[in-house]
Amino acid sequence: MNTIKVMGDTYCIDVGNSYIPFYKLNEKDIILLDTGHIHEREMIESAIEENEFNIKGIINSHGHPDHVANNQYLKNKYNCLIAAPMYEAQICSSAINLKAYYNDNTLTEIKDKYGYMLFETDFYITDKQNEINFCGVEFRIFHTPGHSPSHICITTPDNVGYVADALVSYEIIETAKIPFDFVLLEDLKSKDKLLSYDCDIYIVAHKGIYDDITNLIADNIAFYIHRAEKTYELINGRMTMGEIVKQASIKFNVNLSNIYKYDMIRRMLQCHTDYLYETGKIRLVIDKGFRKYERKNNPLNS
């Protein structure tokens, strides 16, 4: 049994690296909030089967591979409905749309590596929408763009807030080398906005349950800025993105053994270089036909 009662009819499945919340409509029927990573499918299914649950619906917080990977599989198996933020639902609606996320990959690679991320959405959640009546139950929506383009937090009728990836737990703060964000500056604004997200209990996807997130918000903001500063320290003279990735792999001891890992690290570092650019710490230059980053205080310029 790997289910945890959070409050009232809100529970979550512990799948090791993350919590997958669910809301019980009755003894049998449940609504899942996200569907985990492809490797977590067996654990999710065994929790559902042990409890003889029936999935009536899925609400997604955002369209990342570790949150939507089992959407279509579970939809086919349980004939359930899916609600998801509109933009990310459309991204995950076809391989060619998914290329907007993974523009470094070819369409063939996307079909081979990320095909499991595709799903059909029944209800689109717009960025103007603050609640959704889903399977006869009212969930509130709190918008936190930044980690992904239209990331949302979902509040169950028990006033339990699922913050998904808008925050990470202390365990991740202590161990993550390069946390991922789509647009870090926007994510930091959303993290700050979470101070007004008023719930009785909060579930963080990776991975914790808290009754107060005030300190966690401040510590998340400090952690993300600190990691971006670590990327800043890698930039020596004028460097291409490839050179920054190479430097990061040495300094942070990151394994770049295949293209998948390389692309992932590059995307993570890109979120830092974007942030450093937006906050005026670095500039972009064209140097002998190469697109390069340099610190604004680069002594080569003086």
**Which residues of the shown chain bind Zn ion in the complex (CB under 5 A)?**
64, 165
Indicate the pairing of strand 137-143 with strand 152-155. Answer: antiparallel
CA 60/CA 199 separation, integer angstroms: 19
- Residue 286's DSSP bridge partners are 291
Closest C-alpha among 250, 220, 221 to residue 233: 250
**Closest to Zn ion by CB, 9 or 181:** 181
> What are the distances in angstroms from CA 168 to CA 21, 52, 137, 147, 242?
15, 31, 28, 11, 28
**Closest to Zn ion by CB, 166 or 217:** 166
Q: Report in angstroms how near the CB of residue 61 gets to Zn ion at its nearest.
A: 8
**Closest to Zn ion by CB, 64 or 191:** 64
**Closest to Zn ion by CB, 194 or 239:** 194
Q: Report in angstroms how near the CB of residue 63 gets to Zn ion at its nearest.
A: 9
Q: Report in angstroms how near the CB of residue 82 gets to Zn ion at its nearest.
A: 17
Structure token pair of residue 271? 């979120």
Q: Which residues contact 212 (CB under 8 A, 6 or more apart)?
A: none
Q: Report in angstroms how near the CB of residue 294 gets to Zn ion at its nearest.
A: 30
**Closest to Zn ion by CB, 166 or 239:** 166
**Closest to Zn ion by CB, 165 or 294:** 165
Structure token pair of residue 25? 């409509």
Q: Report in angstroms how near the CB of residue 183 gets to Zn ion at its nearest.
A: 13
* Contact present, 256 and 266 (Cβ < 8 Å): no
In one-letter notation, the amino acid at residue 231 is T
Fill in the DSSP letter of residue 239: B
Structure token pair of residue 22? 């669910």
Q: Report in angstroms how near the CB of residue 54 gets to Zn ion at its nearest.
A: 27
**Closest to Zn ion by CB, 40 or 165:** 165
* Contact present, 162 and 13 (Cβ < 8 Å): no
**Closest to Zn ion by CB, 9 or 165:** 165
Query: CA 164, 170, 172: angle at the middle one, nearest 5?
Result: 70
Q: Report in angstroms how near the CB of residue 165 gets to Zn ion at its nearest.
A: 4
In one-letter notation, the amino acid at residue 124 is Y
DSSP alpha helices (H): ranges in the chain?
Answer: 41-50, 65-68, 71-78, 86-91, 95-98, 107-114, 170-175, 184-193, 214-234, 241-251, 259-278
Q: Report in angstroms how near the CB of residue 56 gets to Zn ion at its nearest.
A: 24
Tell me the three state secondary structure of residue 223. helix
